Amino acid sequence: MSQLPSPSRLALVTGGSGFVGKHLIRRLLSDGWRVRALGRSAEALAQVQASGAEPIMADLSDVAALTSAMDGVEVVFHVAAHFKLWGQMSVFRRINVDGTRNIVAAAERAGVRRIVYVSAAAVVMGRPEPMRGVSEDAALHRMPFAHYAASKAEAEEILLAANGRRDGFFTVAIRPPFIWGPEMPMLDHMVETVRAGQFQWVAGGGQAMSTCHVDNLCHALLLAADRGSGGKAWFVSDGEDTTLKSFLTRLLGSRGVAPKARTVPFGVAWAMAGLIGAVWRTFRRRGEPPITRQMLRLIGKDFTIDIRRAREELGYAPVISPAEGIRGMYPSVVDQPGAAPA
Across the chain, what does the average pLDDT equal?
A: 93
If pLDDT is split at 50, 70 and 90, which confidence band does 286 have?
confident
The residue ranking higher by pLDDT, 287 or 32, is 32
> How large is the average pLDDT for residues 139-150?
95
Q: Where are the beta strands (DSSP E) in the chain?
A: 10-14, 34-39, 54-57, 75-78, 114-118, 131-134, 170-175, 178-180, 201-202, 208-209, 211-213, 232-235, 242-243, 263-264, 303-305
> Domains of the chain by range and CATH?
10-185+211-240+304-319 (3.40.50.720)
pLDDT of residue 284: 83
Q: Among 10-14, 22-26, 226-230, 329-333, whose mean pLDDT is lowest?
A: 329-333
Q: pLDDT tens-digit profile of 297-340?
A: 999 999 999 999 999 999 999 999 999 999 999 975 344 333 33
Decide if 330 is catalytic.
no
Please tell me the predicted confidence (pLDDT) of residue 340. Answer: 37
Q: What is the pLDDT of residue 314?
A: 98
Percentage, residues of the chain above pLDDT 70: 95
pLDDT at 342 over 50: no
* Sheet containing 10-14: order of strands: 54-57, 34-39, 10-14, 75-78, 114-118, 170-175, 232-235
pLDDT for position 287? 85
Average pLDDT of the segment spanning 230-241: 97
**Distance set, CA 42 to CA 71, 153, 155, 250 (Å):** 22, 31, 27, 36
Residue-wise pLDDT for 28-65, tens only, equals 999 999 999 999 899 999 999 999 999 999 999 999 99
Catalytic residue among 117, 148, 316, 330: 148
Residue 19: pLDDT band (50, 70, 90) is very high
pLDDT of residue 7: 67
Please tell me the predicted confidence (pLDDT) of residue 266: 96
Integer-rounded Cα Rg, in Å, for the chain is 20
Confidence at residue 338, expressed as pLDDT on a 0 to 100 scale: 38
| Residues 6+ positions from 145 with CB-CB distance below 8 Å | 277, 292, 293, 294, 297
Number of other CB atoms surrounding residue 49 within 10 Å:
15
The confidence score (pLDDT) of residue 44 equals 94
Looking at residue 339, its pLDDT comes to: 37
What is the rounded average pLDDT of the residues 154-166? 97
